Structure 1
Amino acid sequence: MTQQPKVLIFDSGVGGLSVYKEIAACLPQLDYYYLFDNAAYPYGELERQTLLERVNKLVSAMVEKHQIDLVVIACNTASTIVLPSLRELLTIPVVGVVPAIKPASVLASKAVGLIATPATVKREYTHELIRNFSQNKTVEMLGSTRLVDIAEEKLRGQAVSLEEMAQLLAPLANKIDVAVLGCTHFPLIKEEIQTVLGSQVMLVDSGEAIARRVKDLLALNESNETSGGREIYSSAPPWQEDALNQSLTELGFSPVRHFHLEI
């Protein structure tokens, strides 16, 4: 049996698991490694240079240790900053995520809502995407760190308050017909966002596009083969580790292991 490619998925938290789910649904036979830099979570509050150094060191160390074949930076904040330097450092493909402004603008008849982190909303890269692909549509932007925390809490079995969600999403109420989930954490709370915004609002994220990109870069076909390995690492002991491991088991991962690296 030929050895399957190894894919590393990287994020500051567990949000990138939404991207993992899309890729693994398409290519279950691959060996997946997931690394989250929770020691520096949330990334939106880090200085640019600090973020660059952390991601470059952590990712390149994991690539070397596990002989990774492809890296997915499953974090909008990190993708907009580290992709050029990481691609210079590594000899393997590096895939990033960007808010799905382009497809959303094609689908919207009224206006687009961008739900993201405050850092993504402020970043020039995001404004450039809007200028390039959404000239004829209004884009309402909403930056929220609390929504990221809610997704982290949900994965640890905590109930999501729809009342709190409604307050957080109130600035978009009745203004948009397509919403971009501009943070990889947000597909984890997609049902709740849909309930609050209403069925008339279409939700768009980058997960499927990333899965297609990975499949093309590795030149693989979809497969019914048995699942490959699933390992997950964190840069610091995760909070509510037992509850998190319970959810990770359901996704096919072994319990979280600590990946220590002096940064």
Structure 2
Amino acid sequence: MGPIGIFDSGYGGLTVFREIIRKLPQYDYVYLGDNARVPYGTRSFETVYAYTRECVEKLFEMDCHLVVLACNTASAKALRTIQQRDLPKQPGVRKVLGVIRPTTEVIGRHTDTRHVGILATPGTVKSMSYPIEIRKFYPDIAVFQQACPMWVPLVENAELDSPGTAYFVEREINLLLRQSTHIDTVVLACTHYPLLYPLVRHFLPQHIRLLSQGELVADSLADYLTHHPEVESLCTKGRQTRFYTTDNATDFEEKAERFYGQPIKAAKVKTLLT
């Protein structure tokens, strides 16, 4: 038995993690951020897969039987390959879940016009994961995507209130809305973007619904554990949380509070890949 593992390329997954803990506080958790190799959004499928697989295996070594990829890019570029190629080689019960499916399987409940907008990293947009997954559940929904290459660096550098951030947020929203005048629901399809929620809401017309992923993923995880007792029984319940990073632990602690909402203590783990 062991904790539930939460993985992200950096800090953004902490916005999902805080919602998971709010929903499921009874479990033990280990969070691992691959800050030494962030960002993932501009990297190739092969590189994201290699980095994500290494970090997932690190969490397995920490006795995690269930790992959540709290990262849209890793979910888009690495999850399926890990599930199909790597998990069958693992001993015992090992499961890896992502953040895209929990969002796409409920999106139909939020749109009336059946026109949905996706704001995401270039890597997530290029993967076409959201249009593909949404089509599986709701073939009648039209999906429009807009890559936001500057948003993650701006969030990482705490430029939430700068004029430059406002410029890029407004620009990307306008580019998205030009694709369809019927969009009535927009998804913040990156775990960094909740920190930009007030700014996005400011520039987005009020009649358009704006969805963050944290609560959707937390609800989906709770449902998964209910319906998979063979996995749930392997998750320890001691309300203990540990944080790890592949970069400097002190730097991680300083920035993580902004995403997680409270101070944390972290330790560094080494990576083999460069």
Name the structure 2 match of 1:215: 222
For 1:233 and 1:54, the matched residues in 2 are separated by 15
Q: Distance in 2 between matches of 1:184 and 1:245?
A: 13
Match of 1:68 in 2: 64
User: Is the contact made by 1:19 and 1:184 (CA closer than 8 Å) also made in structure 2?
Assistant: yes
Q: What amino acid sits opposite 1:87 in the alignment?
A: L
Of the three residues 252, 265, 270, the one matched with 1:260 is 270
Contact 1:8 / 1:70 at 8 angstroms: preserved in 2?
Answer: yes
Please provide the CA RMSD for this pair.
3.0
How many Å separate the matches in 2 of 1:162 and 1:250?
23
1:147 aligns with 2:151: yes
Matched with 1:39 is: 36
Deviation at 1:143, TM superposition (A): 0.7
Which range moved further: 80-89 or 111-120? 80-89
Q: Which residue pairs with 1:114 in the alignment? A: 118
Instruction: Give the SS at the match of 2:264.
Output: coil
Residue type of the alignment partner of 1:233: Y
Residue in 2 that maps onto 1:78: 74
State the match for 1:9 in structure 2: 6
Partners of 1:56 and 1:115 lie apart in 2 by 25
Contact 1:173 1:197 in 2 (8 A): no
Q: Is the 8 A contact 2:15 2:259 kept in 1?
A: no
Report the alpha carbon displacement of residue 35 of structure 1 after superposing the two structures with TM: 0.9
Tell me the amino acid that sits aligned with residue 190 of structure 2: C
Letter matched to residue 139 of structure 1: V
| TM value normalised by structure 2 | 0.78
Counterpart amino acid of residue 58 in structure 1? C
Q: Is there any run of 5+ residues in structure 2 with no aligned partner, and where?
A: none
Counterpart of 1:103, as a letter, is V
Q: Which aligned segments of 4 or more residues in structure 1 are displaced greater than 4 angstroms? A: 238-242
- Which residue of 2 is the match for residue 103 of structure 1? 106
Contact 1:70 1:93 in 2 (8 A): yes
3-state SS in 2 of match to 1:115: strand
Spell out, residue by residue over 1:136-180, the C-alpha distance to the aligned partner (whole angstroms, 9 max, x if none). 3432210112112233234xx853543442123221347321001
8 Å contact from structure 2 (residues 3, 28) kept in 1: yes
TM-score, normalised relative to structure 1? 0.81
- 8 Å contact from structure 2 (residues 4, 30) kept in 1: yes
Change in Cα spacing, 1:86 to 1:115, as seen in structure 2 (3 Å) is farther
Residue segments in structure 1 that go unaligned for 5+ positions in a row: none
Deviations 1:200-242 (A, max 9, x none): 1111243333223332444499xxxx98222222212379556
* Cα distance in 2, alignment partners of residues 128 and 249 from structure 1: 30
The more displaced of 143-152 and 203-212 is 203-212
Is 1:193 aligned to residue 200 of structure 2? yes
Shift of 1:20: 0.4
Aligned-pair CA distance for 1:51: 2.1
Identity of aligned residues (%): 29
Query: Does the CA-based 8 Å contact 2:155-2:195 persist in structure 1?
Result: yes
The answer to whether the 8 Å contact 2:246/2:269 transfers is: yes
* Structural mapping, 1:149-168, within 5 Å: 149-154=153-158, 159-160=161-162, 161-168=165-172
1:130/1:214 Cα in 2 relative to 1: closer, same or farther (>3 Å)? closer
